[in-house]
Structures are given as C-alpha cells and as structure tokens.
Structure 1
C-alpha cells in the first residue's frame, strides 16, 4: 500500500490489509508525506497516528515506511530542491526542505535509513527512494491512490510510483483507489469542506463516483472482513483505525472520513508489460504499436491536417512561451475537427497544465489541472512535453489522457465520453527546440476494440 498522507492507507485499504494480516501475509505500507502542511498538523504526531491505526489492522510498525516528502508539494518536485516550506515537527513550526521521521521501520524516514542522511525535496530523490523500497519489498500487488484523485498529492503519488516502476525489473499488479472525488465523497457531493456529518454505514457498499466521473466504474469490489461490516465503532477495526487519526477526525464520529468504512473497498486495477525503455499499461486485448510522423512548425496559429484517431501521442519540445495579452501560455488542440477538440494548455506563469474538452456551440469542459515542477524552464532550455490519449476498454468506454514532462508522468485525466477522431492538430505559441512538432499516430488500431462514447 502506498499512501500520500498518514490516514489514506486506512481509508483505502483497511479491509485488504486486515485480511492479509489475518491470512498470514506480511503487508507493508509506504507513506509519502508526514501530513505537516503549513504547520496545520504535527508531522511526528501524524506518523504516530498512522502507526496506531495500522496496529488496529494487525500491521506491525516495522512494516510501515515513512518517506517524509513535502505535504502539499509532491506535484511540485523538480530537478532542484524545493525552497524551504512551513511544517510542524514535534510541536515546533519551522521552515525546511529535507525529509525527516522518527517512526516506522528503523525509527527514521526511509532515505536516512538507506543512506545515513536526510534527502532534499527533489523529484529524483522521491523516485529513487520509492524505487529502492519497492525493489527491497518486491510486492506482487500495490494499492495506491488514483491519478484522477482531485487532491494534487494523491495524483502525484501515482505519478511518482509510475516513474519508480520504470526502474524495476518486475511490475506488480496495481490497484488504484479514489479518496477525493469532490472533497466530500463518499458521504455526499458537497464541493468542499466542511463536509456533511458522516452517515456511518459499514454494511453498505461504496457508492458510485459522482460529477464528471459518473459512469466510471471500478473493476474490483473487494468485500471487507465481516468484522469491518459491524456498525459498533468500538468493535469495527476499520472504524478504530480511522479513529486513530484524531488530528483529522477531531476526535468525533462526525468526520466524513468514517464514510469510507463500507462493506467493500473498490479499485481500478491495471497490469503492465515491459516496453523498450519502460513499463506500459496493457489491456486484455494487448497494446497498439506506434509509428512516428514529423510536422514542421512554421509559425504561430498554423494548423496541420492529419488523420488523427486514438490512440494518439503528441510530443513537443517547448521553450518558455512569449507573453501576450493572456500571459505566457501554450495551447495545442488535439483531435480537432468541426465539432471541437481536446485543448492542452500550458501556463508558464502559474506553472500548471490543464486539458479542456471543447464542443461546438457549448461551454468548454475542464477535465483536469496539473501543477508542474517548481523549476520549469529555470534553465531557460526547452522542456519536452508529451500528451498520450488512449482508450481503456478494461475500464469501460473511457479514454485516458496522460501528460508527461521530461519523460516522467505528470498526471492522468479520465474522459468518460471521449473524443475518438479528429482531422487536424492546431497550435499557438509553440516554439519547438528543433523547429519541429512531433506527432506519433497509430499503425495497428486493430489491437484495440472499438470504443464508443458512454451514453
């Protein structure tokens, strides 16, 4: 289990962890941050809460690994260290940008156990720690937060895992879980906290996703042990595990976190096969092969007519865009035709990327916003971006849009009513380092079954 913060492991997989512990397994839990954002909570206290909660599920402290990377900053990790950030350690609010920890395996954060020193907050350090720990543990299965989770740290945890996976000789089966689908899911649809008082229903199944992801159906519903379906909070081990995180529940049963105690735990599974340089997700039907086309960029606001269809990969090496009346922004239209397009927007000033689905005569729909590394374009050299659009038939009639930067996954957007075809690619403010925008199309579409938009 890989959790972004202390408490996510209990929300996602208490039943799975309890079942494994009771069945003679030896599950391990990796926690990416200490939950100490902006001194709102004490990082060491939250480590203790995580250890106490997992003990309710039969997990020994020696099987808990704290990495100690920045709460609220995983998506901003770059090549250079993050600037010092406010965090609370043992009751003291301080500024820092290195890992720390005093609980879990070895009584210290993993990097210090591995190297003898703390790690600076960089993307490479986080990926290297995660890869080394996974190589040491050699799990057959990994539960982790879904890249569509609306909390940036949750989405970034998955992206960091995928980068670590590329360094491993074997790929585990992966089970992605949602925590934030709108801040108050699964107890309601309020867009933000304060959330409704939890209606504790551990004998009821997890409700379907709501909002933009309505119709996105998990491929796994794993029943929890019978003890986790009891309504008595003094008896139910999942409720006790959640209650151990008193800093998050405020010591009452009113917290919406208790709504995660259900009769099942749901996941979106995926499997991988090794490609030329990295692990590729595969479907039951196999994976399409890709060929390469090159399209020369001659000027701004130029369009290129291409036979575009999913799966599609568009890659561009981009210098920092010049400033115009809208700011320092790059826009690339994908699968564009008279009915609309996907639009990838890269905002250099805000250091964020977003993907929008546009429709003729309708208001554009924002699919996803991804924070980008804090040091984007810091060296004043071109940055390589890549957008991959692929159908995911194992997850229903959906497509995933994955953004990569510097060869590393930034994030994934799921579209439950995907665009499948277009007749051109459009771009503005695109300045490729070598004067070219590279478009890779599909040479073997038959490897994927036909995908129809969800109704």
Structure 2
C-alpha cells in the first residue's frame, strides 16, 4: 500500500447512512473516471437512498492518449464519454443526468477572460439553477492537476450569483499521490471527514473498471499514453472516501 498523507487519512469516519442526509446532489467531474475514483461510493449510497444525482463533465478527456492514430481525438472523446456513462450506470446514475461541457483536456480555463471560461460558467450556472442540488461535489481546490483546479474555479464563478448556493463538498483524487504540503488543507481552512463506503465498495470498483481506456492497453498505439498505476488505484480500493468542506462563510 502506498504511503498516504495523514491530512487525508486521520479524519473522523461517518457512517454510510450519512450519505442520505446530503439530499439531491450534483457533481462536477474534470475527466471521465474522477467521478468513480473520488466519489463513486458516495454516489452509489446516494442512489441507494433514493436521492437524485446529476453529473457535469468538464473536459473532453481526449488527451489521455494524444499520439494514438487508431483513436483520433473525436474517437477518444467518444470512448471516454461512453466509459463514463457505463460507470454511472454501475452507480445507478441515469444517463440523462449527464451534462458535457467539452472543454479541452489538459487546458480547461481557470480564469475569467480565458477562452471558454465565461461560456462554461454560464452553462454551469443555468444547470445548477435547473437541478437545484442540495449538495454539490467538486474537486479539492488544490488537487494537483490543472483541470481539477480549473473545475473548482469554474464552480466558484458559477455559484457566485446564485441566491441559494448548495452545500459544497470537495473530493480528493490526485492529492493522494502528488500533493505537496501547500496543496493539502491548511489549519482551520476546511473541515475534513471520511465516509464509510464499505457497503458499496464492490460497486465502486466496478465503476472504476468501466474506464478501460485508463486501466488497460485498450488504446495500444500510444506507448506514452496515460494509465492509472496500481499504486494510484490502491488509494481508491479503501472502504472510505475523504471529503472537505469550508468551515466559515
């Protein structure tokens, strides 16, 4: 088992039944597979409790294998979206609950004025107004991947003008593996807790396995293509997930 940051691990454990108290929930996903890795257990528990779940996919996911000829960009985008849809079905989230923004993978805009930022913010704002989630799941604000930080920035901009913003829970993906000390929660910045997902752990693993292009040599003509390592996957085979939320207004 790879070493894990204590700031992500030494946190109170809440029971699986706590998921039901979050109410209707929406999640922002930087790339296909982040939903299953970071929140798959929570999404499954929400659906078991009868809570609706809506998903917004931020990037097109096409840069995982940028040198593939057999899977050119449009084909990679289609494949990864299909894998996401399969993963959501494993988690009992309906296909028609998915919004795709199709921002460029690896270059999602983080600041107002950057190409695509304002349009994505407007789309997310309208989506949030339509979905009316009680809880919004989004990547940890300093998760060490630029698209994850961009997703957080887009969410904050979209939420800024909402009369009744939802409760925000930040989930962890790359901070497990790549976080520097400054990337981790600072004293009194957020409240962290873990959620027991042991009743749905097998379901989460099936959702992760749906992302075959990220786990196998399905795209076999790009030797430099991305693949989730066993060390990385081990963080998401644990019977809990880690969440953070702000402690002050």
TM-score of the pair, normalised by structure 2: 0.73
Give the Cα separation in 2 of the matches to 1:58 and 1:38: 26
Q: Counterpart of 2:69?
A: none
Matches of 2:57 and 2:125, distance apart in 1? 14
Distance in 2 (CA, whole Å) between partners of 1:179 and 1:129 is 25
Higher RCO structure (Cα 8 Å, ≥6 apart):
2
1:172 paired with 2:133, answer no
Compared CA separation, residues 213 and 129, structure 1 to 2 (3 A): closer
> Which residues in structure 2 correspond to 1:164-203 (within 5 Å)?
164-181=158-175, 185-186=176-177
Question: Residues 165-198 of structure 1, C-alpha deviation per residue, up to 9 Å, x if partnerless?
Answer: 01211111101122122xxx35xxxx6xxxxxxx
Q: Quote the residue 2:192 is aligned against.
A: 219
Q: Equivalent residue for 2:113?
A: 79
In structure 2, the residue matched to 1:44 is 78
1:58 and 2:34 are equivalent in the alignment: no
Q: How many residues align?
A: 202
Report the aligned-residue RMSD.
Answer: 2.5
**1:14 and 2:48 are equivalent in the alignment:** no
Confirm or deny that 1:25 pairs with 2:64. no
Alignment of 1:244 onto 2:210:
yes
Could you tell me how far 1:75 is from its partner in structure 2?
A: 3.1
Q: Aligned runs of 1:139-154 on 2, under 5 Å?
A: 139-154=133-148
Q: Name the counterpart of 1:386.
A: none
Do the aligned partners of residues 25 and 5 (structure 1) sit closer, same or farther apart at CA in structure 2, a change above 3 Å counting? same
The 8 Å contact of residues 143 and 183 in structure 2, kept in 1 or not, is answered as no
Matched residues in 2 for 1:215 and 1:31: separation?
25
Deviations 1:266-292 (A, max 9, x none): 111137xxxxxxxxx51xxxxxxxxxx
The alignment partner of 1:74 has SS state of coil
CA deviations on 1:5-55 (whole Å, 9 max, x unpaired) are 111111111111101111111111111112113862611110000010111
CA apart distance, 1:246:
1.0
SS of the residue corresponding to residue 65 of structure 1 reads: strand
Aligned mate of 1:261, from 217, 237, 244: 237
5 Å matches for 1:120-139? 122-139=116-133
Rounded Cα–Cα distance in structure 1 between residues aligned with 2:90 and 2:125: 28
Q: Secondary structure at the match of 2:63?
A: coil
Mapped to 1, the partners of 2:196 and 2:92 lie a distance apart of: 18
How has the CA–CA distance of structure 1 residues 250 and 268 changed in structure 2, closer, same or farther, with 3 Å as cutoff?
same
Deviations 1:413-455 (A, max 9, x none): xxxxxxxxxxxxxxxxxxxxxxxxxxxxxxxxxxxxxxxxxxx
More strand per residue: 1 or 2? 1
Partner of 2:246: 270
Take 2:43 and 2:84, find their aligned partners in 1: how far apart are those partners? 13
